[in-house]
């Protein structure tokens, strides 16, 4: 029985993870669950899964819990846990990822901000501690499935797909007046509000480009993004001989979650919809319109600049998204806030965690001011 901790168990990825684990009780045991403040749902999940450790970051009402942000690291380093599913949204997931990797755990990573903020530090923690990173994002899971078993040095290019979000066909001038309600109406995926808004600005895709750089060791010039409205082809890998492999399937997070838990093995699972190419219908691909979605270019440029720039990009976006969801910032101003913070930042080498966290704090303060 493999012990699993699910960080962020009450969110979209977390609840999907628990459904997958429930179908494989002969293989996995839920040891630890954490949530931000959804105490009632967390209590119900813990009772149904039989979790030995329960952690709540904010709030009360769950008996026997770890409390505060420290509960995330406590769950991630629990002695009975071998796999940590990090489904936390935002920068808050970084300390738990580092702690788990240093403790030799497998981190099934849905928290892309971890690698965006401190990719080199995360990889070093895995090397030193003997931990392992396996992505849950459907795009990176797709690429991993394509390259598993391939010889080192044969991967030449990644092609990540983007649905295009709810504003794929909107002209740039119309996007400036888009509402939060419209932005949250994603055409193919059902996700939490922060990730859904990131998908509408294509910030999410910029974060995935940076994450792919660290996961697969390719330069940014070797990572492409195309718009694929049907969300059937999740990622493609091009090899040095010109061959291209793709992973396809109807949109679901349960398949990449299961693969992250079992990689490189595959467990029989009848819980997800089987693929039918006829039912999928025609598949189309389009170029990404950088002029209409400037936040994407800002993120990729931050990744290319390296150092503390990606952490600043991520922090500025998190603050802008929070302000937008709270009604304090128009959706169309999110890229402007990010751009203003990046322009004011003096990029530093991200040699240690203190430097990264200082850049994160600085960017949040600047972004707050820019949102007012």
φ/ψ (deg, to 5) at 247:
-110, 130
| Position 262 in a domain | no
Cβ proximity of 264 and 148 under 8 Å: yes
- Picking from 135, 153, 176, the residue at the C-terminal end of a domain is 135
Whether residues 120 and 154 share a domain: the answer is: no
Alpha helices in the chain (DSSP H): 12-22, 39-49, 70-76, 94-102, 113-129, 138-147, 172-175, 180-183, 193-201, 203-216, 254-262, 277-280, 294-305, 309-325, 334-344, 353-371
Whether residues 177 and 131 share a domain: the answer is: no
In this predicted model, what pLDDT tens digit does every residue of 19-29 receive, in sequence order?
999 999 999 99
In this predicted model, what pLDDT tens digit does every residue of 143-191 receive, in sequence order?
999 999 999 999 999 999 999 888 998 998 898 889 889 988 877 777 7
Parallel, antiparallel, or unpaired for β 106-109 and 53-56? unpaired
Element (H, E) at 226: strand 223-227
pTM metric for this prediction: 0.93
Whether residues 371 and 344 share a domain: the answer is: yes
Whether residues 245 and 112 share a domain: the answer is: no
Averaged confidence pLDDT in the chain: 94
Q: Is the peptide bond between 68 and the residue preceding it cis, with omega within 30 degrees of 0?
A: no
Cα(145)–Cα(141) distance, integer angstroms? 6
> 226 is in which domain, residue-wise?
142-250+276-297
């Amino acid at each position: 029985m493999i012990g699993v901790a699910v960080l962020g168990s009450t969110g979209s990825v977390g609840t999907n993870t628990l459904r997958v684990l429930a179908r494989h009780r002969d293989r996995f045991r839920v040891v630890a669950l954490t949530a931000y403040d959804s105490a009632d749902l967390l209590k119900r999940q813990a009772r149904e899964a039989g979790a030995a450790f329960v952690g709540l970051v904010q709030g009360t009402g769950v008996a026997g819990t770890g409390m505060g942000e420290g509960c995330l690291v406590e769950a991630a380093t629990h002695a009975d846990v071998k796999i940590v599913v990090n489904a936390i949204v935002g920068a808050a997931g970084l300390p738990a990822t580092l702690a788990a990797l240093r403790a030799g755990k497998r981190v099934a990573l849905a928290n892309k901000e971890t690698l965006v903020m401190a990719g080199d530090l995360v990889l070093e923690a895995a090397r030193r501690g003997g931990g392992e990173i396996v992505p849950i994002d459907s795009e990176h899971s797709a690429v991993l499935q394509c390259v598993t078993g391939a010889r080192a040095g044969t991967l030449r290019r990644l092609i990540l797909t983007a649905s295009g979000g709810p504003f794929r066909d909107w002209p740039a001038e119309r996007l400036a007046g888009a509402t939060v309600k419209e932005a949250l109406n994603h055409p193919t995926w059902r996700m939490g509000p922060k990730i859904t808004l990131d998908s509408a600005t294509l910030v999410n895709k910029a974060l995935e480009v940076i994450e792919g750089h660290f996961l697969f060791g390719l330069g940014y010039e070797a990572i492409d993004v195309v718009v694929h409205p049907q969300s059937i082809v999740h990622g493609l890998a091009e090899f040095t001989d010109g061959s291209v492999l793709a992973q396809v399937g109807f949109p679901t997070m349960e398949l990449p979650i299961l693969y992250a838990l079992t990689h490189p093995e595959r467990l029989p699972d009848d819980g997800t919809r089987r693929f039918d190419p006829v039912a999928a219908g025609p598949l189309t691909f389009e170029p990404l319109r950088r002029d209409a979605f400037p936040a994407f270019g800002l993120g990729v440029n931050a990744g290319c600049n390296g150092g503390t720039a990606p952490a600043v990009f991520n922090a500025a976006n998190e603050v802008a998204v929070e302000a937008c969801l709270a009604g304090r910032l128009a959706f169309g101003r999110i890229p402007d806030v990010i751009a203003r913070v990046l322009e004011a930042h003096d990029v530093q080498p991200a040699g240690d965690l203190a430097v990264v966290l200082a850049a994160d704090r600085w960017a949040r303060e600047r972004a707050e001011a820019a949102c007012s």
